Structure 1
Amino acid sequence: MRKLLMVSAAATLAWAQPAAADTVTDWWDVANRYYNAAQGMPGPRSPDMERVTTRAALAMFEAVNAIDRRYHSHLGMPAASGAASQDAAAATAAHAVLLKHYPANKSALDESYLFVMTAIPDGAAKEAGKAVGLQAAALAMDAGGIDPAVEQVPYRPRTVPGEWVATALPSLDSYWPGFKPWVVDGPEALRPPPPPALTSAEYARDYEEVRRLGGKASSERTPKQTLVARYRQAFDITPSVRLATDAAGRSLVDNARLLAVYQMAFDDAVQAMVVAKQHYDYWRPVTAIRNGDRDGNPATQHDPAWVPLISTPNFQEYPCGHCTAAAVIGEVMKSASGWKAGQRVRVGSLLNPNAVTLTLGSWDEWVGEVSDSRMLGGVHYRFSNEAGEEIGRRAAQIVLAKALQPLARGKRRR
């Protein structure tokens, strides 16, 4: 679950031309920017919107891998001519997927596509690459949708008959349980155990931590901790992805696999996290702390006027979504060939894109900082952060172990 930058449709036009690196990474970046921009659009969201970036990444992988045959196909894509243009295939695959999902942005997407394609020499290789890309896009757009056999139950506010509760419904739609997972057996396979009992020492410990450090008026939170809470709300991993995909010795299909694995693991982890939130329906610190005299735990101090440092998301607390996403990213990025042990991690902010890109010592350090930020912001307990991290790590490990595995040497193209 990502906190996303809200921008206007017009701003998307400025992003339409991919920067220099490689075709796959460029179009993944473009897909993310379109997705982020779409968060601010009016009207109801569709389930397809949640899968668009993954479909684009997977389509590019299938297209490039069909030409440079090194990994198992996830969608049953047949091998293509090794003479076909990989760049034409990747660009065509991504363009077709994005155009299907963002038809209102056809002009900008077509311009992006034209910039890439005009740089590829005309001829049979280019035309063959285009055909491969369209075939991969068609397969990707048919994958990862809603399973009609799964019941989607609208949220029902829990209250005593006749007693008022807030009327704003949670912003997590009821379609989340219905997605067909990419790799994980199902969201229940990653469900964490229940949160600690309200009367437990663990609950009191983590309650008091967020009460002391996560409140807007906290006198115990340091200036640096305040910055961490705000800066990590909407993280941008593009700088580090560029470092990994630009590393010497990596091929286009290696980069396509990395991004496809990341996107599939992200989707499966986020689905599990959302379904767990809906299952446990756990209260946020702002609710708990204002009602701390009613939780049956003498070790919790209640504060009827307490408010968090940052705005509380309008959905259930347990487990932490940011922590889930960060753990997925960390596990996948650590697996990338070319990512050196001890290499510094560079992460930006979508919330403040003009801020400097921060550098940390490792992915594990960054994941821990993201988790800390949610407690320091007053929106999560530490036990919820830990549960989210575990979902993300397990999802990434499962996808890395099962999806897009290397072909036996004798079956590789080269």
Structure 2
Amino acid sequence: MFYQSMLRLPPHFSSLLAGSALLLSAVAEVRADIVSDWNALALTQMMASTESPMVAHDLAILAASMYNADQSIEGTYNTYGYGAYPAPGAGPAGADSQAAMISAANTVMQYLYSGSSGDFTALYNSQLSGIANSQAKTDGIGWGITIANNLLSARSGDGSADAATTPYSPVGTIGYWQQTSSAGALLPGWGSVATFTIPGTGAYMTALPGGAITTYLQSSQYAADYNQVKDLGAAFSVSRTSDQTNQAYFWAAGDGTVKMTGMWNQIAQSVAATAGLSVADSARLLATLNVAMADASTAAMATIYDQQFWRPETAIANGDIDGNASTDVDSFWAPLISSPSLPEYVSLGATISEAAAVVLASYLGDSVSFSLGSDINGDGSIDLTRNFTSFSQAATEAAMAGVYGGTQFQTSVTDGQALGANVANYVLANNFALVPEPAGAVLMLFGGLFFLGARRRR
């Protein structure tokens, strides 16, 4: 796992007087509310029915729009662009970047969740009222609309609208996923949704050990995975500790909650506020986080419907016919947490959580303490609060919650963590970089000219 701090402030910040730095810190905390307020409102709107990959997808559009609206005017970091969506150039000279961000956020959310138009309008008007009327404000509003509409247009045919209705029929044979409830397969077409940054999902997809279901089923690794979840994930397990039970419920992120991707956004909002990040760095953090989780989700979903592996409750009910002598059948076994309605491998929760943890640790360092509340039953109230000392600790706990809940095998968890980390590291290496200082750019130019001259003299 790659956990290394990469948060960089513009070099000229270091020359500010201590008193000015304190003042800037106080102002930054207030201004960052522009970002967190829209993120929090978006999560509220997504609780009703949106699934984790969809939450990440929509939040990525929101965060990238706000980030681009800001950075196309401020120019501290490179603007985001990929594929059919070119990175926007410089915005109108003198335009108010805060007005642009507010306008971009409102435009995105009004389009994606038109049924909640009044809530978005109220936040939009409230935030804009804090900016004095001026040409800069007017220009910022117009530019934000342009930024948002361009990204929405580029994503309009990305496949997300059809992912839930893509035809899919379970194979139904040994080792393959079988429906465990009356619900249909969840988002069977999501693996074909256009990515935000990674060059397709193929290089990030993973496969069951041995490359085939039969090979994995007959292995000692499968027997270990099987017996572990059978023991720890049973509804009435006597081996699972009370804390492990709490972890399973805490990270279940079922219907009526903000889902796994939403929980990591809540973590990001909390630690960004504690760190006193500026509006620019808060927007950059959430854009990176949600783009990484969106692409990690897409690669995981592509793997899930490619591998089509069965859930533990189906596996344990058929332990006598899987070809492995070390897997004893239990026809009455049931998981602690109801199985989600999609194949088991690879763990979506482990993938999302690892991608999120890698991004957050890269910006802020891994050893950050924070608390997080979880709505277990989807009634809108916090039922459990857990404390963490690092992002990696939270990610590991979220991943293992699937085993403790009886819905995931250990191999699925481990491979999901690797997938999530790989996607996050690609996003970090290729997007949202600091714009070089002019002096640095000149040095690079002279270095290149010197190199060419040296080659010619040979």
Once the two structures are superposed, residues 9-45 of structure 1 have per-residue CA deviations (whole angstroms, 9 ceiling, x without a partner) of: xxxxxxxxxx9852012212222221223439xxxxx
Q: In structure 2, give the amino acid aligned to 1:345.
A: F
Change in Cα spacing, 1:317 to 1:341, as seen in structure 2 (3 Å) is: closer
Q: In structure 2, give the amino acid aligned to 1:241.
A: A
> 2 CA distance for matches of 1:56 and 1:411?
33
- TM-score (norm: length of structure 2): 0.77
1:328 pairs with one of 355, 360, 368: 355
Offset of residue 168 of structure 1? 4.5
1:179 pairs with one of 193, 196, 204: 193
1:261 pairs with one of 270, 276, 288: 288
397-406 or 70-79, which deviates more: 70-79
Q: In structure 2, give the amino acid aligned to 1:73.
A: T
Task: Please give the residue correspondences for 1:127-142 in structure 2 after superposition, counting only pairs within 5 Å.
Answer: 127-142=138-153
RMSD: 2.6
Q: In structure 2, give the amino acid aligned to 1:401.
A: A
Which one has the largest radius of gyration?
2
Offset of residue 202 of structure 1? 0.8
- TM-score (norm: length of structure 1): 0.85
278-287 or 131-140, which deviates more: 131-140
**1:241 is matched with which residue?**
268
Change in Cα spacing, 1:50 to 1:267, as seen in structure 2 (3 Å) is: closer
Offset of residue 185 of structure 1? 1.2
Q: In structure 2, give the amino acid aligned to 1:386.
A: T
Q: Is the aligned partner of 1:206 residue 2:206? A: no
Change in Cα spacing, 1:214 to 1:251, as seen in structure 2 (3 Å) is: same
Q: Is the contact between residue 56 and residue 140 of structure 1 (CA under 8 Å) also seen in structure 2?
A: no
**1:7 is matched with which residue?**
none
Change in Cα spacing, 1:50 to 1:246, as seen in structure 2 (3 Å) is: closer
Identity of aligned pairs, percent?
A: 28
1:399 pairs with one of 424, 427, 444: 427
Task: Please give the residue correspondences for 1:263-412 in structure 2 after superposition, counting only pairs within 5 Å.
Answer: 263-336=290-363, 339-340=364-365, 342-351=367-376, 353-410=381-438
Q: Is the contact between residue 265 and residue 286 of structure 2 (CA under 8 Å) also seen in structure 1?
A: no
Q: Is the aligned partner of 1:62 residue 2:89? A: no
Q: Is the contact between residue 144 and residue 181 of structure 1 (CA under 8 Å) also seen in structure 2?
A: no
> 2 CA distance for matches of 1:194 and 1:225?
26
Offset of residue 275 of structure 1? 0.8
> 2 CA distance for matches of 1:217 and 1:331?
34
User: How many residues get paired?
Assistant: 381
Offset of residue 178 of structure 1? 2.7
Q: Is the contact between residue 68 and residue 82 of structure 1 (CA under 8 Å) also seen in structure 2?
A: no
Q: In structure 1, give the amino acid aligned to 2:355.
A: V
> 2 CA distance for matches of 1:158 and 1:342?
44
Offset of residue 125 of structure 1? 2.0
Change in Cα spacing, 1:258 to 1:209, as seen in structure 2 (3 Å) is: same
Change in Cα spacing, 1:173 to 1:390, as seen in structure 2 (3 Å) is: same
Offset of residue 368 of structure 1? 1.2
Report SS of the residue matched to 2:320: helix
Q: Is the contact between residue 201 and residue 298 of structure 2 (CA under 8 Å) also seen in structure 1?
A: yes
265-274 or 27-36, which deviates more: 27-36
277-286 or 243-252, which deviates more: 243-252
> 1 CA distance for matches of 2:113 and 2:410?
38
Q: Is the contact between residue 207 and residue 307 of structure 2 (CA under 8 Å) also seen in structure 1?
A: no
**2:26 is matched with which residue?**
none
